[in-house]
Amino acid sequence: MTDKTKLSAKERAFVEAYCGVAKFNGSEAARIAGYAPQSANVTASKLLTKPSIQEAISNFMTKATEKALCTTEDVVRGLLLEAKLNEEGASHSARVSAWRALSDYTGGFDVNKKKIDHSSTDGTMTPVANMTDEQLLKYLNE
């Protein structure tokens, strides 16, 4: 940062709170940084439009990401490698678990799931084994 873009102590506190404990809530970050609570919303809005604050937030997040032990991308990349590993000694259950985790992460097959009520009117399980094909198709399409 150049001298023109130096932040005051309160502005630095705002950036740290915004990226940290306030979880990107500007009003909360302003209050934590010591700005007047009754005008925290307006103060946060003004601060977040300042280029020096935007640059400081970007720098803070870049440093935080670099310090992270692993990123989401690292986890997904590792799961994908495990899921595709099919050589001698590779674990089938590890591959299945990796594919399941990847499916969960991406939303899986939720859009294709269809909820089917398997109970009958008397509360017992629907006797699908005793249904004709026509009855079963009708039941599934209800």
- Per residue in 43-53, pLDDT (tens digit) is 999 999 999 99
Q: What is the pLDDT of residue 21?
A: 92
* Model confidence pLDDT, tens digit, residues 56-111: 999 998 888 777 667 778 888 888 888 888 888 888 888 888 888 888 877 776 65
What CATH topology corresponds to 3-67?
Arc Repressor Mutant, subunit A (1.10.10)
Which residue bears the tokens 């089938």? 92
* Cα separations in angstroms, 137 against 90, 125, 141: 42, 17, 6
CB half-sphere exposure, 100, CA atoms < 13 A: 6
- Given a contact cutoff of 8 angstroms between Cβ atoms, the answer to whether 29 and 14 are in contact is yes
Q: What is the pLDDT of residue 11?
A: 95
Phi, psi of 92 (to 5 degrees): -65, -40
Q: What is the pLDDT of residue 3?
A: 41
71 Cβ contact partners less than 8 Å away, ≥ 6 residues apart:
65
CB atoms within 10 A of CB 50: 13
Q: Which residue(s) pair with 142 in the sheet?
A: none
Q: Indicate whether this model's pTM tops 0.85.
A: no
Rounded CA-CA distance 142/138 in Å is 6
Domain locations in the chain as residue ranges = 3-67, 72-112
Determine which helix (DSSP H) or strand (DSSP E) holds 43, and give its type and residue range.
Answer: helix 40-49
Residue 125 DSSP SS3 = strand
* Cα separations in angstroms, 28 against 22, 39, 51, 92, 129: 6, 11, 20, 48, 59
